[in-house]
């Protein structure tokens, strides 16, 4: 169940972020396989643990937290990004001359209680782009990205902790898109292209860890989604990073090819 999944995968990532690391959690799978259901549960539990898991070193002598927590949320379709907390205003994902990837024009909120963060999560979810498809009546047509940034005010020079919670749009086969109109087909192509890039980046990043002497190209700049996660994919990144991919699969035998593809 969601509690078990979160305890095994989510809670350790939250602890890592509170100590200044970069954590990423994906839900990957075909449309209608339960990605949004799973990620929403993880997001809600994360909102609580960001405050509950703070340790004694995170508080001053008066019992006030030394950590400041900020959240932003946007959706990605192809190379276009829009703010889910600011009326879909355009957001830019840019890399500066120092190699840092920045999210420009995204509205960011400071939160001081779990309920504040949960309210923002709910608000953003209501504005996410969905459409009816052959496989799913409420198919997500974009990648939803929650970025949670943790600043340790006791160590101003320290890097911010960052947590990316990403509910990916579902992958679709050509047969799933038979009844799509022109605009829906265009969305499907953009979704599948970014998912293919993500898959290539994950595979090559894992191979690079197993075979450090072998040169492998990780094409994270080919997609805004993977470019956003440069620290996780860049082999020479100085940041401490951890990533989790949750494979969401359908129990239907009709979807066995999707299941095999996801598990690969």
Query: Hey, which bits of the chain come out as E strands?
Result: 22-29, 67-77, 80-83, 90-95, 101-104, 109-111, 130-131, 139-140, 143-152, 161-167, 241-248
Residue % of the chain over a pLDDT of 70: 91
The highest-confidence range among 69-78, 169-178, 203-212, by mean pLDDT, is: 69-78
Identify the pLDDT of residue 28: 86
- Rounded to the nearest integer, the mean pLDDT of the chain is 87
Write down the residue that tokens 């990620």 correspond to.
39
Query: Mean pLDDT across the stretch 170-177?
Result: 61
The Cβ-side half-sphere exposure at 134, using a 13 Å CA radius, reads 14
Identify the pLDDT of residue 137: 46
Query: Mean pLDDT across the stretch 125-153?
Result: 74
The span from the CA of 131 to the CA of 143, in Å, is 13
The highest-confidence range among 129-133, 227-231, 236-240, by mean pLDDT, is: 227-231
Identify the pLDDT of residue 175: 54
The span from the CA of 101 to the CA of 24, in Å, is 15
Least confident of 143-157, 164-178, 228-242: 164-178
Which residues face 246 on adjacent strands?
27
Query: Mean pLDDT across the stretch 230-247?
Result: 90
Identify the pLDDT of residue 136: 46
Q: How confident is the model at residue 235 (pLDDT cuts 50, 70, 90)?
A: confident
Identify the pLDDT of residue 134: 46
Q: How confident is the model at residue 156 (pLDDT cuts 50, 70, 90)?
A: confident
Query: Mean pLDDT across the stretch 171-190?
Result: 66
Q: What are phi and psi of 188, to 5 degrees?
A: -60, -45
pLDDT digits (tens, 9 = 90+) for 112-130: 999 999 999 999 988 876 5
Paired tokens of 157: 């020079």
Least confident of 35-49, 145-159, 170-184: 170-184
Contact 20, 161 (CB under 8 A): yes
Residue 62, classed as helix, strand or coil, is: coil
Q: How confident is the model at residue 145 (pLDDT cuts 50, 70, 90)?
A: very high
Contact 65, 58 (CB under 8 A): yes
pLDDT digits (tens, 9 = 90+) for 51-97: 999 999 899 889 999 999 999 999 998 788 999 999 999 999 999 98
Q: How confident is the model at residue 213 (pLDDT cuts 50, 70, 90)?
A: confident
């Amino acid at each position: 169940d969601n509690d078990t999944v979160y305890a095994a995968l989510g809670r350790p990532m939250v602890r890592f972020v509170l100590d200044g690391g970069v954590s990423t959690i994906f839900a990957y799978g075909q449309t209608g396989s339960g990605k949004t259901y799973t990620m929403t549960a993880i997001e809600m539990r994360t909102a609580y643990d960001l405050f509950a898991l703070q340790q004694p070193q995170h508080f001053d002598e008066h019992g006030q937290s030394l950590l400041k927590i900020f959240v932003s949320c946007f959706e990605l379709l192809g190379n276009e990004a829009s703010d889910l907390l600011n009326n879909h205003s355009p957001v830019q994902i840019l890399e500066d001359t120092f190699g840092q990837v920045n999210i420009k024009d995204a509205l960011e909120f400071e939160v001081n209680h779990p309920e504040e963060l949960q309210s923002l999560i709910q608000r953003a979810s209501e504005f996410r782009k969905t459409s009816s498809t052959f496989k799913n009546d409420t198919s997500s047509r974009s990648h939803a990205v929650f970025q949670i940034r943790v600043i340790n005010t006791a160590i101003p020079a320290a890097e911010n902790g960052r947590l990316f919670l990403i509910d990916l749009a579902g992958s679709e086969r050509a047969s799933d898109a038979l009844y799509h109109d022109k605009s829906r087909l265009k969305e499907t192509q953009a979704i599948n292209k970014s998912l293919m890039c993500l898959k290539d980046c994950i595979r090559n990043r894992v191979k690079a860890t197993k075979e450090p002497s072998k040169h492998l190209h990780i094409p994270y700049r080919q997609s805004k989604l993977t470019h956003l996660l440069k620290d996780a994919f860049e082999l020479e990144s100085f940041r401490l990073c951890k990533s989790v991919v949750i494979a969401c699969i359908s129990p239907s035998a009709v979807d066995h090819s999707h299941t095999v593809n996801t598990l690969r």
